[in-house]
Amino acid sequence: MPRSVQKGCDDFRQTSGAARARWLAPRLTRRQLVATGLGASFAIWADRALPFSRVLEAAEAEAAAAPRAPVLVTVFLPGGCDLLDTLVPVGQYGRYADLRPGTKVADPPLLGTTGLAVHPSLAEGLNGGVKGLFDAGKIGFLPGIDYANPDLSHFHSRHFWETGLVTERAAPGWLGRWLDHHGSSANPLQGLTLDSTLSPLLATASAPVAALDSPDDVALDVWGVGGLQQRQTMAAWDRLATPRGRGEGPQAAYASARLAKQVADRLAPYATKDGVDPLAPTVAYPQDDDLGRRLSRLAALIAQPLGVRVAAISASGQFDTHDDQPADLASGLSSVSQSLAAFQADLEARGVADRVVTLVWSEFGRRPQGNESHGSDHGAGGVAWVQGTRAAPGILTDYPSLTSFDRDDNFKVTVDFRKVYASLIEGWLGTDAGEVIPHAGTYGRLALTR
Partner 1 sequence: MADWSEQHVRRLFWRAGFGATAEEAGVWAQRGRRATLDHVVDGPVEGRKLRGPAPRVDRRGLDPVNEWGDDVLWWLDQMLRTNYPLVERMTLFWHDHFATSDQDAPLMLRQNRMLRGHALGSFPALLRDVTHDPAMQLFLSLADSSKGAPNENYARELMELFTLGSGYGERDIRETARALTGFRSNWKDGRFGGIAFDREQHDGGVKRIFGRAGRFGVDDVIALVCDHPRHAPFLVAKLWSYFIAEPPSRETVRGLAATYRRSGLSIKPVVRAILEHPMLYRRLDAPDMVKWPVVYVAGAMRASRTFVTAGYPTWLLASMGQQLFHPPSVAGWDWGAAWLSSNSMKQRFTFGNHLIENGPAKVEKGSVKVTIGARGHYALAHAAVGSPQVSTHTREVLTHLAAGWFHDIPASWRAKAGWRAESLQRTLRHLLLTCPESQLC
Site for partner 1 in 1-40 (CB under 8 A): 1-17, 19-20, 22-26, 30-31, 34-35, 38-39
Tell the smallest beta-carbon distance from residue 322 to partner 1 (Å): 7
Query: Does residue 198 bind partner 1 (CB under 8 A)?
Result: yes
Residue pair 263/239 in contact by the 8 Å Cβ criterion: no
| Residue 15 CA to its chain's centroid (Å) | 11
Considering the complex, state which of residue 82 and residue 348 has its C-beta at the smaller distance from partner 1: 82
Q: Of the ranges 50-58, 236-244, 289-297, 347-355, which one interacts with partner 1 (CB under 8 A)?
A: 236-244
Handedness of CA 281, 86, 398, 418 (dihedral sign): positive
Minimum separation from the CB atom of position 284 to partner 1 (A)? 26
- The least CB distance from residue 150 to partner 1, in Å, is 14
Q: By CB under 8 A, which span of 129-137, 193-201, 330-338, 441-449 interacts with partner 1?
A: 193-201
Residues 326, 103: Cα–Cα separation, whole Å: 6
Backbone φ and ψ for 278, nearest 5 degrees, come out as -65, -15
CA–CA separation, 119 and 329 (whole Å): 9
Q: In the bound complex, what is the minimum distance in angstroms from residue 327's beta carbon to partner 1? A: 14
Pick between residue 159 and residue 177 the one whose CB is nearest to partner 1: 159
Residues 6+ apart with CB under 8 A from 385: 130, 139, 140, 141, 142, 359, 360
Binding to partner 1 (CB under 8 A): which residues in 30-89? 30-31, 34-35, 38-39, 42
Rounded Cα gap, residues 363 and 151, in angstroms: 10
Contact by Cβ (8 Å): 443, 431: no
The window from 189-197, 301-309, 328-336, 340-348 that contacts partner 1 (CB under 8 A) reads 189-197
- Decide if residue 236 touches partner 1 (CB under 8 A): yes
Instruction: Rank residues 3 and 273 by Cβ distance to partner 1 and give the closer one.
Output: 3
Q: Does 197 bind partner 1 (CB under 8 A)?
A: yes
Peptide bond into 26 cis (omega under 30): yes
CA torsion, points 241, 245, 246, 251, in degrees to nearest 10? -10
Pick from 105, 122, 145, 257: which binds partner 1 (CB under 8 A)?
Answer: 257
Nearer to partner 1 among residue 237 and residue 270 (C-beta): 237
Indicate the residue among 365 and 375 with the shorter CB distance to partner 1: 375
Tell which one of 91, 115, 250, 393 touches partner 1 (CB under 8 A).
250
Is 259 near partner 1 (CB under 8 A)?
Answer: yes
Task: Find the binder of partner 1 among 247, 305, 441, 444 (CB under 8 A).
Answer: 247
Q: What gap in Å lies between CA 348 and CA 126, rounded to an integer?
A: 13
Min separation Cβ 247 and partner 1, Å: 4
In DSSP terms, which residues pair with 313 in a beta bridge? Answer: 75
Quick one: which of 113, 196, 287, 404 contacts partner 1 (CB under 8 A)? 196
Give the HSE-up count for residue 321: Cα atoms under 13 Å, Cβ half-sphere.
30
Q: What is the DSSP string of 317-360?
A: S----SS-HHHHHHHHHHHHHHHHHHHHHHHHHTT-GGGEEEEE
Among 72, 252, 420, 446, binds partner 1 (CB under 8 A): 252
Element (H, E) at 179: helix 174-182
- Residue number, 4 or 287, with CB nearest to partner 1: 4
* Least spacing, CB of residue 185 vs partner 1, in Å: 16
Task: Tell me whether residue 116 or residue 255 sits nearer to partner 1 (CB atom).
Answer: 255
Hey, what long-range contacts does 435-443 have (CB within 8 A, 24 or more apart)? Answer: 435/177, 435/178, 435/181, 436/164, 436/174, 436/177, 436/178, 436/181, 437/164, 437/174, 438/165, 443/416, 443/418, 443/419
Q: Are 326 and 42 in contact (CB under 8 A)?
A: no
Q: Which of 14, 417, 71 is nearest to 199 (CA)?
A: 14
Residue 240 makes contact with partner 1 by CB under 8 A: yes
If binding is defined by CB under 8 A, does position 223 make contact with partner 1? yes
The smaller minimum CB distance to partner 1, of residues 42 and 161, is found at 42
Size of site (CB under 8 A) for partner 1: 84
Residue numbers 90-129 binding partner 1 by CB under 8 A = none
Residue 51 C-beta: closest distance to partner 1, Å? 16
Please check whether residue 47 is in contact with residue 185, taking contact to mean a CB–CB distance below 8 angstroms: no
Specify whether the CB–CB gap between 159 and 364 falls below 8 A. Answer: no
By CB under 8 A, the residues from 352 to 391 that bind partner 1 are 371-372
- Using the rule CB under 8 A, is 407 a contact of partner 1? no
Judged by CB under 8 A, the chain residues 283 through 322 that form the site for partner 1 are: 322
Distance, CA of 372 to CA of 188 (rounded, Å): 48
Out of 150, 188, 286, 307, which residue is the one contacting partner 1 (CB under 8 A)? 188
End-to-end Cα separation, the chain, in angstroms:
48
Sole window of 174-182, 187-195, 277-285, 394-402 interacting with partner 1 (rule: CB under 8 A): 187-195
